[in-house]
Amino acid sequence: MKALHLFNKYIKNLTLLIDNSLINDKFQELKDFYICPICLTKYDKIDGENPLTLEDAPQKSVGGSTNTLTCKKCNNEAGFKIDHHLVNRLIDLDNSKFLPNTEVAIKTEIDGILYNATLKIDEKGIMKVFHSKKNNNPTTLEKNIPELKKDKIVDFNFIRKKIIPDKLDYAVLKTAYILLFQYTGYKVILTDNYDVIRTQILKPEKGLIPKNFYFFSEKPYYKEGIHFVCEKGLEIIMVVFTAKTIKSSRNFCVFLPIPNKNYETTLDKIFEIKRKTGEVRLSAFPENINNVDYINDLDRIQRLENWFNEFKNF
Ligand SMILES: [Zn+2]
């Protein structure tokens, strides 16, 4: 039921854009179709060989919800290739913070020998390290561990999940891109600037976009949603979302291109300010994306179009 509602909602949006010439002419023949936002395959029904499936942004496991449809192939491939890197990274960040009432798998090093252990932190923050015979060579363990003297220095490392940094970046990129589609439909994503974003999501092994397209913080930065940054010279789209684990919550701030404007140059300017001043505050609209409608409200969409057109001559 939800899938059908979303299917019709975005078909209506695309039709509105086509009827009012608010989209590139090459998409004229896509009237009455739902387009997979990632691979741009067109659909006149939900089911088929490669059906449309509900897509979560961010993933449900980090507190996200389902609000769009992507084709099964894109959904599975991105899920398999990139999505889990975000979840794993958040868990690793939590583990390295020594939060009370937590238990983390670690490796200890005592006199040059490595052991598998568990670091338990109680509610008062007192840490205890446990070595079990099951996870270690029992003979070595019995011989060395009981002799540990008070004040003996024990090195340890967290056992990190297998995270490929690039793929983590593209999991963040995909989440922001899907959220942009969720709130603004086809208006923004079907512009030329977004071809590279889609290719990057589909081919995470290729480094096609600059590395400095997002940051995250533990304190809320901007309200969640889509923000059109209108600061002179820094015009860009900023997508803000929260990713939660059982132990923490983080605010991701992702920059996406504005049609007609050079993405890399703007990113460089923003991150230069951030590097110099420690933070960057940007004027943006709308205040709350949930109060405006860029899917059905023609006046709103037209205003967005006018704003994008201001950059055409630069
Ligand atoms: Zn697709």
| CB neighbours of residue 253 within 10 Å | 20
**Higher model confidence: residue 153 or residue 73?**
73
pLDDT-derived band at 130 (thresholds 50, 70, 90) equals confident
| Residue ranges of domains in the chain | 2-91+163-309, 96-158
Alpha carbon of 165 to ligand 1 centroid (Å): 24
| CB neighbours of residue 29 within 10 Å | 10
Nearest CA to 274 among 302, 238, 314?
A: 238
**Higher model confidence: residue 42 or residue 312?**
42
Alpha carbon of 237 to ligand 1 centroid (Å): 23
pLDDT-derived band at 112 (thresholds 50, 70, 90) equals confident
Alpha carbon of 15 to ligand 1 centroid (Å): 20
Peptide bond into 286 cis (omega under 30): yes
Distance CA 176, CA 59 (A): 11
Average pLDDT rounded to a whole number, residues 265-287: 90
Distance CA 30, CA 18 (A): 8
pLDDT-derived band at 313 (thresholds 50, 70, 90) equals low
pLDDT attached to residue 162: 67
Distance CA 92, CA 179 (A): 25
Alpha carbon of 202 to ligand 1 centroid (Å): 9
Average pLDDT rounded to a whole number, residues 256-264: 93
Alpha carbon of 96 to ligand 1 centroid (Å): 36
Alpha carbon of 54 to ligand 1 centroid (Å): 12
Alpha carbon of 271 to ligand 1 centroid (Å): 32
Alpha carbon of 38 to ligand 1 centroid (Å): 5
Structure tokens at 93: 């960040």
Distance CA 29, CA 6 (A): 21
Cβ(59)–Cβ(86) under 8 Å? yes
Neighbours of ion ligand 1 (CB under 5 A): 36, 38-39, 71, 74
Alpha carbon of 296 to ligand 1 centroid (Å): 23
pLDDT-derived band at 131 (thresholds 50, 70, 90) equals confident
Helix/strand/coil for 66: strand
Distance CA 205, CA 132 (A): 39
Residue 19 CA, distance from chain mean position: 33
Alpha carbon of 194 to ligand 1 centroid (Å): 15
Average pLDDT rounded to a whole number, residues 285-293: 92
Is pLDDT of 48 > 60?
yes
pLDDT attached to residue 66: 92
Is pLDDT of 314 > 60?
no
Is pLDDT of 152 > 80?
no
Alpha carbon of 238 to ligand 1 centroid (Å): 24
Strand order in the sheet with 249-256: 214-217, 249-256, 236-244, 225-229, 284-285
Alpha carbon of 191 to ligand 1 centroid (Å): 17
| CB neighbours of residue 15 within 10 Å | 15
Distance CA 83, CA 172 (A): 8
Alpha carbon of 67 to ligand 1 centroid (Å): 15
Average pLDDT rounded to a whole number, residues 116-134: 85
| CB neighbours of residue 32 within 10 Å | 12
Is pLDDT of 148 > 80?
no
pLDDT attached to residue 147: 66
pLDDT attached to residue 269: 95
Helix (H) or strand (E) holding 241: strand 236-244
Is pLDDT of 71 > 90?
yes
Q: Tens of pLDDT along 207-232?
A: 899 888 999 888 777 889 999 999 99
Alpha carbon of 81 to ligand 1 centroid (Å): 14
Alpha carbon of 56 to ligand 1 centroid (Å): 14
pLDDT attached to residue 114: 86
Residue 268 CA, distance from chain mean position: 20
Alpha carbon of 47 to ligand 1 centroid (Å): 13
Distance CA 37, CA 57 (A): 13
Helix/strand/coil for 136: coil
Average pLDDT of the chain, as a whole number: 89
Specify the range with the lowest mean pLDDT, choosing from 161-165, 180-184, 186-190.
161-165
Alpha carbon of 68 to ligand 1 centroid (Å): 12
pLDDT attached to residue 145: 75
